[in-house]
Structures are given as structure tokens and as C-alpha cells.
Amino acid sequence: MLRSRILSTGMYVPTKRVTNEDLSKIMDTSDEWIRQRTGIEQRFWVDGGEATSDLALKASELAIQRAGVEKSQIEMIILATLSPDHEFPGTACFLQKKLGIPGIPSLDVRQQCTGFIYSLSIADQFIRNGAYKNILVVGAEVHSKGLEMSDHGRDVTVLFGDGAGAVVLGAVDVKDPEKESHILSTHLHADGTFAEELWTPAPGTGNSEFRVGAKELEEGLHWPKMNGKTVFMHAVKRMPEALEEGLKANQLCVSDIDLFVFHQANLRINDMIAKQFEIPEHKVFNTIQKYANTTAATIPIGLDEAVRAGKLKKGMLVASAAFGSGFTWGSAIYRF
């Protein structure tokens, strides 16, 4: 049967390291406060010049090189981001230009923290139906240019880092599903009822006369807004639901999974999920301590980090789940 498999991973973060202590100098916060509530110790931010597509480029080039394919063999680009280079065109087009592979379809996915799971699912379907053989899937974010660096924006600002992660998906004729590397299934959900619990109101046509004008800027509508308690409450409910859905769809138990690579929004959320499913600590791979929440990039960054740390090897069964703005959530089960 024709399936897709992850051929390789790649990641990139900027060189500017920002600690919790650094943030305490510009807003009312502390290292202890941030660690206790989120598990975050540091993050990396661009130093002015880099755009989302620049980070995506470096992660993509690594993934393509490690996949053992030529750039010319990439037949589609799917890029997930909530921090595009520009309002339009899509950032995938800017990435395509920088990669030097014109002519192939290039698609942006705007599903925020669940963006990589959505993108992986889309790529998997294109490969399963025989449309393409090699697809580049990227999650990339530059949050730092859109964060409110003040006490007012503190609760959001401390959470986010910049970075990019990429995988190359390739077609494979699977003869033995229990041994051969491939994506078993993906599961996607959304509930727009809660769209305004975590969002950035401007710019947008949902505003008054202009997408962004003096009124919107004066009211600070161009800064991200979050109802933290509501987001947390839904995350600890929806991520386990998506994970269980994936396990049941494939007739698997928690003990069958070799490694869990969850979205990195808050270490407390991942710890609660691990406790709920009685997942051993060594089976959960977290990166939030080092990189904070890089939204669409957290899972591919986690995969690349796990490979380089020797925690993720070919043939291992992996489960991922994510929850984010929209609200959106989902899961993926795959043999690496």
C-alpha cells in the first residue's frame, strides 16, 4: 500500500539567546515565576534582520540534505506559520524562491500551534493518493517581532520563541505496516467558538474601516491576546482526546508507543497528559525549556532534537498531539 514516511528532519533557531532573567529587566517577571508556570528557561529570538522564511530556509535545507534527495525532487512545499513574512503572498512562496525550486505548489497553513499536524496530514493525503512523491513540510515562526514588550503583554510574551523545523515526506510502498516506517494516521479538529480566546485582532477585515488604523493601534489590537485559563483548560482536555483517538484508530496502547513528541506550549500541560496516560518520563521528549513555544515549529524541532540526542531512531513508533489557537487540535501516529 502507498504511504508516506518521514525521510529526514531539520531545524534552526536564531543565535540570540534570551533568558528569563533578560525578560525580568524589561517587564515585571522573574525566572522563578516563568519556570513554575511554564517550564521555560530560555528562548531564541531573531536579532532584527531574519524573517520567518529565512528560518524556514535553513531548517529546510538541512532536512533536504539529510533526506538524500535533490531540491529538484521536492514536488510540493507546505509551510505552517502564524507569523508570515508579509500579509500576502504566502510565506511558502518566499521559501520556494529562496530554495530555488519554482513551479511546484507552495501552500501556507494557518492553524497556529496545530499547524504542523495539519500540514503533515495534508502532505500525507497527497502522497497516499499518488499525486506527489516528495513533500517538504515546515513549521516556522518569528514571534519576537510581534510581542508586546511590556508588563501589559507579559503573560503572552514570556511564552514564545522563534525557530523553524522541517521534515521531508517521501512515498513508500509499505509491505509490513508493523515494521516499516510510515504515517499511520492523523486526526484533526477545530472549534471556532473559541477563536477570540487566543488571537491577534489586527490587522484584519473584521475591524472597522481599515484592516489596521489609528484606532486599532491605539487600542493595542495588533498585539496577541490570550485568555490563559480557558486555553489551559481546553488544552489539557483536547490533547488527550486527540491522542486517544489516534491510539484507538490504530488499535494501539500507550505502552506500544516508543516516544511521545507533543506540542510545546506549557510543560505543565505535557506533564499532566503524561500522568493521565501513565506514560514513563523517559518516553516524553520536551524542548520547551530550551526554545519556549515556537508554535508550528515545536513538533518538528522536537523530532530533530530527539534524533540528534539519540532518543529517536528509525523504526520507533511515535505519537504527537497539539492544541492551539482557533481552537484547533489534532494528533498523528507514525513509525519513524
pLDDT for 208: 76
Q: Is the pTM of this model over 0.95?
A: yes
pLDDT for 173: 96
Q: Report the distance separating Cα 86 and Cα 88, nearest Å.
A: 5
pLDDT for 262: 98
pLDDT for 22: 98
pLDDT for 107: 98
Q: Report the distance separating Cα 183 and Cα 169, nearest Å.
A: 9
pLDDT for 213: 86
Domains of the chain by range and CATH? Answer: 2-173 (3.40.47.10), 182-335 (3.40.47.10)
pLDDT for 74: 98
Q: Report the distance separating Cα 300 and Cα 85, nearest Å.
A: 20
Q: Report the distance separating Cα 190 and Cα 308, nearest Å.
A: 33
Quick check: helix, strand or coil at residue 176?
A: coil
pLDDT for 20: 98
pLDDT for 210: 85
Q: Report the distance separating Cα 167 and Cα 165, nearest Å.
A: 7
Q: Among positive and negative, which fits the CA dihedral 70, 76, 81, 87?
A: positive
pLDDT for 315: 96
Q: Report the distance separating Cα 93 and Cα 75, nearest Å.
A: 13
C-alpha cell at 265: 506550549
DSSP string, 96-153: HHHHT-TTS-EEEE--GGGHHHHHHHHHHHHHHTTS-SEEEEEEEE--GGGS--STTT
Which residue from 235, 257, 245 is spatially nearest to 326, judged by alpha carbons? Answer: 235
Helix 228-249 vs helix 267-276: crossing angle, to nearest 10: 40
Q: Scan for cell 472549534, then name that residue.
A: 191
Residuewise pLDDT in 10s, the chain (336 residues): 999 999 999 999 999 999 999 999 999 999 999 999 999 999 999 998 899 999 999 999 999 999 999 999 999 999 999 999 999 999 999 999 999 999 999 999 999 999 999 999 999 999 999 999 999 999 999 999 999 999 999 999 999 999 999 999 999 999 999 899 999 999 999 999 999 999 999 999 998 788 888 888 899 889 999 999 999 999 999 999 999 999 999 999 999 999 999 999 999 999 999 999 999 999 999 999 999 999 999 999 999 999 999 999 999 999 999 999 999 999 999 999
* Residue 118 near residue 86 (C-beta atoms within 8 A): no
C-alpha cell at 319: 505519537
- Please name the amino acid found at residue 73: Q
Catalytic residues: 113, 263, 293
Q: Report the distance separating Cα 249 and Cα 240, nearest Å.
A: 14
Instruction: Assess whether the previous peptide bond of 203 is cis (omega < 30° from 0).
Output: yes
Quick check: helix, strand or coil at residue 190?
A: strand
DSSP string, 203-268: SSTTSSSSSS-HHHHHTTTTS-EE-HHHHHHHHHHHHHHHHHHHHHHTT--GGG-SEE----S-HH
* Residue 37 near residue 156 (C-beta atoms within 8 A): no
C-alpha cell at 232: 489551559
